[in-house]
Structure 1
Amino acid sequence: MTMPITTVLAVLGLAVLDMLSPALIAVTLYLLLARPRRMGLLLIVYLVTVAVSYFLLGVVLMLGLGALVPAIDPTVGAWIQGTIGVGLFIASWFIPTKPREGRSPEHPRSFTVRSMVILGLDTWLFEFYTAVPYFGAIAIMTSAGLPAASWLILLGAYVIVMVLPGIVLFIAWALLRSRMTERFERWQRKIETSTGSALSWIIGIAGVLIFLDALPSDLAVVFG
């Protein structure tokens, strides 16, 4: 079972961009600062819910697009993908950078396993408007014509990378505790005031990666 290295690098590069998800990081910081009972379990439930939701959506999209893509000429598909990449890069320059009120998942009123599952699904739905890297990765895996065994592994790696910030923040909190409180509060305020700027960067870089993946393999080596 082999996968083109350019496809793997492009998908994982987009996964690294998705690590900057403002909603997931903000919710993780909120939980760590609130310090509810069984916080470790609650955070794990939340992160697993987000990861599983994106994984299952990816499976559905891959199966659906996998049936459609063979009917599209590869050259036409590459032009479509390249055009989308350029369009995303251009669009990133026009995204408002000022924060908007009410553009983040609601904080839970109670800290239970059920509320964490709901919060994970809420994050999943909320993140649709910033899920450009995710959908770009799905498109790249589909256009590469990967067998199911390959794209399942790559999709699984993508969602694991995507939730890594939550895991890293929890480990930092577990090791340093009170010494991280002030820093976490500062990061939380920064996320609330710079979400638009982060989204602009995420979409712009995702557009570049999608465009580069659409180039012929000989050109992709030169630019990559």
Structure 2
Amino acid sequence: MELLLALPALALADSLSYGTLTIPVWLLLEPGRVRGRRVFTYLLTIAAFYFAIGLGLLWSAGWLLPFAIDAAESPAGHLVLLVTGIALVIWSFALDSKGAKAKRANGGGLMAKLGKWRTSDKPVATVAVAAGLIELLTMLPYLVGIGLISSSDASPATSIGLLAGYCLVMVLPALALFGLRAALGSRVEGLLDRINAWMLKHGESALSWVVGILGVVLIVNNLNLVGN
């Protein structure tokens, strides 16, 4: 029951990322009739990508988790985690620095690079995998969800089902927007434009907060343990 309550909430948090919301909105904002096959191919690919990553993490958890815990609890492990936390905090400031904001204002930054994919000739499946790779290290809710599944008493079949459900919920908002776009046409373009504008303005700032919080957690948890 705890998993059934926690996993959908985590999946919905993940649904607000670049790969699962921003790029699908861009696909839906293309002029003319919405190309459903293109949108479905993108969402299916990114959901399958995360499902495959999740399966790999769940499979490795049985033998890798005890080793990782032992390594993290060693003095060298605490030092590595502390340095990683400091690096993440520095990166978070770089993501939202004045220079980065100015670069975004002039059409640069991560969102601009993703935006170029919208009009490129790359297959949407390739774009989905690339977006997933960019986001993977910052998808904290997804990693937490996998941790909850791996630490539960769920059977392998149930764990796979929970993971598949998570990936489905993760793309549900984009699917809902596709349904509105297909049913109402240009009448929902205003909503899509507002979502797009918000992500363009706040997307990288939100990413910097996620990275920074993760870095602070690592620093706080390991600062006093280095050398012990």
TM-score (norm 1): 0.70
Select the residue among 93, 105, 118 that pairs with 1:107: 118
Runs of 5+ consecutive residues of structure 2 not aligned to the other structure: 74-84, 215-228
Query: Do the aligned partners of residues 70 and 144 (structure 1) sit closer, same or farther apart at CA in structure 2, a change above 3 Å counting?
Result: farther
Judge conservation of contact 2:11–2:166 (CA < 8 Å) in 1.
yes
Give the whole-Å Cα distance in 2 for the aligned partners of 1:13 and 1:182.
27
* Cα distance between partner residues in 1 of 2:34 and 2:191: 22
Counterpart residue type for residue 110 of structure 2: R
Structure 1 vs Structure 2 CA RMSD: 3.2
Q: What displacement does 1:70 show?
A: 5.9
Aligned to 1:146, what secondary structure does the other structure show?
coil
Query: How do 1:1-224 and structure 2 match up within 5 A?
Result: 5-35=1-31, 39-69=35-65, 101-104=108-111, 105=114, 106-110=117-121, 115-199=123-207
Bigger drift between 140-149 and 98-107 goes to: 98-107
Aligned-residue offset at 1:35? 3.8
> How far, CA to CA, are the matches of 1:179 and 1:204 in structure 2?
38
Secondary structure of the structure 2 residue equivalent to 1:128 = helix
The answer (yes or no) to whether the contact 1:14–1:137 under 8 Å persists in 2 is yes
Deviations 1:67-115 (A, max 9, x none): 2346769xx9xxxxxxxxxx9xxx7xx76657554213332413xxx71
Tell me, in whole angstroms, the C-alpha distance in 2 between the residues paired with 1:174 and 1:38: 7
SS of 2:118's equivalent in the other structure is coil
Q: CA deviation at 1:203?
A: 7.4
CA distance, structure 1, for counterparts of residue 206 and residue 173 of structure 2: 15
The alignment covers a number of residue pairs equal to 187
SS in 1 for 2:64: helix
Letter in 1 for 2:55: V
Task: Give the C-alpha shift of residue 142 in structure 1.
Answer: 1.2
Letter in 1 for 2:118: H
Deviates more, 1:151-160 or 1:123-132: 123-132
Aligned partners of 2:109 and 2:130: how far apart in 1?
A: 13
Structure 1 residue ranges without an equivalent (≥5) = 77-86, 207-224
**Change in CA separation of 1:67 and 1:203 when aligned onto 2, cut-off 3 Å:** same
Using the TM superposition, name which of 163-172 and 21-30 deviates more. Answer: 21-30
Check the 8 A contact 1:141/1:151 in 2, yes or no. Answer: yes
More helix by share: 2
Aligned-pair identity in percent equals 32
For 1:11 and 1:203, locate their aligned partners in 2 and report how far apart those are by CA, in whole Å: 21
* Residue number in structure 1 paired with 2:223: none
Q: Is the 8 A contact 1:46 1:117 kept in 2?
A: yes
Three-state SS of the structure 2 residue aligned to 1:117 is helix
Q: Which moved more, 1:155-164 or 1:98-107?
A: 98-107
* Offset, 1:157: 0.5
Contact 2:28 2:34 in 1 (8 A): no
Q: The residue matched to 2:190 in structure 1 has which SS?
A: helix
Cα offset, 1:202, TM superposition:
6.3
TM (norm. structure 2) is 0.69
Instruction: After superposing the two structures, state which structure 1 stretch, 180-189 or 98-107, moved more.
Output: 98-107
